[in-house]
Amino acid sequence: MNFNYEENEKIMLEFIEDCRRQIKDKFFSEDKITNEEIRKHREEMIDIKLNHTMRVAEDVAKMSMKMNLNIDFTKIVKVSALLHDIARFNQAVWADSFNDRNCAQFNGMMHAEYGYHLLYVNNKFKDFQIPKNYQFAISQAVKYHQQKSLSGDLSIHFENKKELNPEVLTGYETLNNSEKIIVATLVQMVRDVDMLDILYQHLTNEFPVIRPFVTYDVCHDHLSQISKHFGISEAEIMAYNKLDNDDISNMETIKIPTIHMDKSKLAVPQDIRDAFLHNIDLDLVTLQKRRDWTFITGMWWRLIHFINNINFTSNLELVKEKELLDKIYEMYPDEYKPLVEDIFTFTKEVVINASLKINQGSEFIKENTGELISEKTKKKGY
Ligand SMILES: [Fe+2]
């Protein structure tokens, strides 16, 4: 089969247009106002993931060429990037947010796993023009791009770029050693570029550093208690949630607008703060279940998690050279800066520098920086 990236990109764009059509059909009704709002929001979700997908595909191909990897491997890694978030487009049809937990159709799966399921198990691959012997390897890159950290076979590194020869791919699910190296490299490259792109999305404001509201678990609280806790009037919360009265007893969650909120309520809880300032990568799903979870803790998590999970030294150097973290920090309005200042300084001055020092001269980030970091942590008094 002739394997051409452009052809597959066209097919992907048609699939995305189809998701857009489904959104239009789903939210077309007499009840124009509410539906129009939801439709617009869902279409924006599609736009965000479309831009993300295209950038990640382009950037991963650039990375592959910069590393002098062969043309066929470059095409495979580019198609893996093109497909890595395929489930996000279904998610925009089904749900109002990209929180995988809230998407009933995923049936407990995360979006990466669902993407794998869709492509490989349900054979969505048949719509694409991808040689059969490449499909399993690509499906693994989709499946594992969201993995918390890479271990075992997914953490192996190629010794020689000649090992990345797609000819060795058989398409069988039991991978031989040559295939394992290709799959691990696909996963590592897609993950790196995917994580970096989320940082860029903060800069373009596609992923704003400040969210308009915090979703709070009601947990049998009265509106008056919630109002007092966040320092916002009951009337404002009611208006924001379009409530006719103050009875919230049958609501699971309530939206608290951030604009007039007492900003100290967004401060990262002490236990989470201590963990992150000792470079401990906490589990996102567990954090998101906490009642005190906010988008500020989300940024703390992203910094520690992403920086510690970058696989290629050149990408970590890129973060430093492009001053990405300083630029994101500057996106915060002044009243929010104290909430994130410590984690930005710690990540820049301790985590990145320790890792670059240890991995200098190596293509991959291999060494455990834990000891160096705890030494520096002590010195800096975090
Ligand atoms: Fe993803």
Instruction: Let me know whether 237 and 307 are in one domain.
Output: no
- Measure 380 CA to ligand 1 centroid, in angstroms: 35
How far, in Å, from the CA of 23 to the mean position of ligand 1? 21
What residue has token string 């994101």? Answer: 328
CA of 58 to the centre of ligand 1 (A): 16
Which pLDDT score is estimated for 366? 79
Model pTM score: 0.90
Decide: 210 and 332 in contact? Cβ < 8 Å. Answer: yes
CATH code, domain carrying 234: 3.10.350
Is 283 inside any structural domain?
yes
Beta bridge partners, 215, equal 255
**Are 180 and 106 part of one and the same domain?**
yes
List, in order, residues 6 or more apart from 95 with CB less than 8 Å away: 102, 103, 104, 105
Distance 147 CA to ligand 1 centre (A): 10
Q: What is the CATH number of the domain that holds 184?
A: 1.10.3210
217 phi, psi to nearest 5 deg: -70, 125
In a domain, 264, yes or no: no
If asked whether residues 217 and 198 sit together in one domain, one would say no
* CA 233 – ligand 1 centroid, Å: 38
Helix (H, G, I), strand (E, B) or coil at 143: helix
The total of other beta-carbon atoms located within 10 Å of residue 212's CB is: 11
Give residue 76 CA to ligand 1 midpoint distance, Å.
17
Q: Does residue 228 lie within any of the structural domains?
A: yes
Work out the angle at residue 328's Cα, subtended by the Cα atoms of residues 197 and 89, and round it to the nearest 5 degrees. 35
d(CA 221, CA 189): 46
Q: If 0-12 CB within 10 Å is exposed, 13-18 middle and 19+ buried, where does residue 271 land? A: exposed
Q: So what's the pLDDT on residue 62?
A: 95
Closest CA to 83 of 114, 45, 110: 114
Residue 159 lies in a domain: yes
In the DSSP assignment, the letter for residue 151 is: -
- Please give the Cα distance from 5 to 26 (Å, whole number): 32
Pair (113, 45) in one structural domain:
yes
Instruction: Give me the pLDDT at residue 64, please.
Output: 95
Are 171 and 245 in a shared domain?
Answer: no
Domain that holds residue 219: 213-257
Ligand 1 centre and the CA of 146: distance in Å? 6
CA 83 / ligand 1 centre spacing (Å): 9
Domain count, the chain: 3
Are 115 and 238 in the same domain? no
Residue recorded with tokens 């590194």: 157
SS3 annotation, 37-106: HHHHHHHHHHHHHHHHHHHHHHHHHHHHHHCCCCHHHHHHHHHHHHHCCHHHHHHHHHCCCCCHHHCHHH
Which residues, other chains included, contact 253 with Cβ-Cβ below 8 Å and sequence gap of 6+? 215, 216, 217, 218
- Distance from residue 78's CA to the centre of ligand 1 (Å): 15
Does residue 246 share a domain with residue 278?
no
Among 161, 192, 193, smallest CA distance to 72 is for 161
Q: Which amino acid is at 76?
A: I
Tell me, in angstroms, the distance from the centre of ligand 1 to residue 285's CA: 15
Please report, in angstroms and rounded to a whole number, the separation of the first and last CA atoms in the chain. 57
Question: What's residue 370's pLDDT?
Answer: 63
Rg (CA), the chain: 22
Distance CA 128, CA 123 (A): 10
Distance 329 CA to ligand 1 centre (A): 24
CA of 113 to the centre of ligand 1 (A): 10
CA of 195 to the centre of ligand 1 (A): 9
Q: Is residue 265 part of a domain?
A: no
| CA–centroid distance, residue 31 to ligand 1 (Å) | 33
pLDDT in tens, the chain (382 residues): 679 999 999 999 999 999 999 999 999 877 777 788 899 999 999 999 999 999 999 999 999 999 999 999 999 999 999 999 999 999 999 999 998 988 999 999 999 999 999 999 999 999 999 999 999 999 999 999 999 889 999 999 999 999 999 999 999 999 999 999 999 999 999 999 999 999 999 999 999 999 999 999 999 999 999 999 999 999 999 999 999 999 999 999 999 999 999 899 999 999 999 999 999 999 998 999 899 999 999 999 999 999 999 999 999 999 999 999 999 999 999 999 999 999 999 999 999 999 999 998 899 997 666 666 767 666 666 6
CA of 154 to the centre of ligand 1 (A): 17
> What is the CA(53)–ligand 1 centre distance, in A?
9
User: How far away, in angstroms, is 204 Cα from ligand 1 center?
Assistant: 18
Distance (angstroms) between ligand 1 centre and the Cα of 260 equals 32
**Per-residue confidence (pLDDT) for residue 30, from 0 to 100:** 74
Looking at the fold, whether 250 and 359 belong to one and the same domain comes out as no
Separation of 84 CA from ligand 1 center, angstroms? 6
Cα–ligand 1 centroid distance for 217 (angstroms): 26
Structural domain contains residue 313: yes
Asked if 82 and 88 count as a contact pair (C-beta separation under 8 A), the reply is no
CA distances from 274 to 294, 298, 339, 381 (A): 17, 15, 14, 12
Q: Cα(219) to centroid of ligand 1, in Å?
A: 31
147 and 246 assigned to the same domain: no
Cα(90) to centroid of ligand 1, in Å? 12
3-class secondary structure, 217: strand
What pLDDT was estimated at residue 369?
66
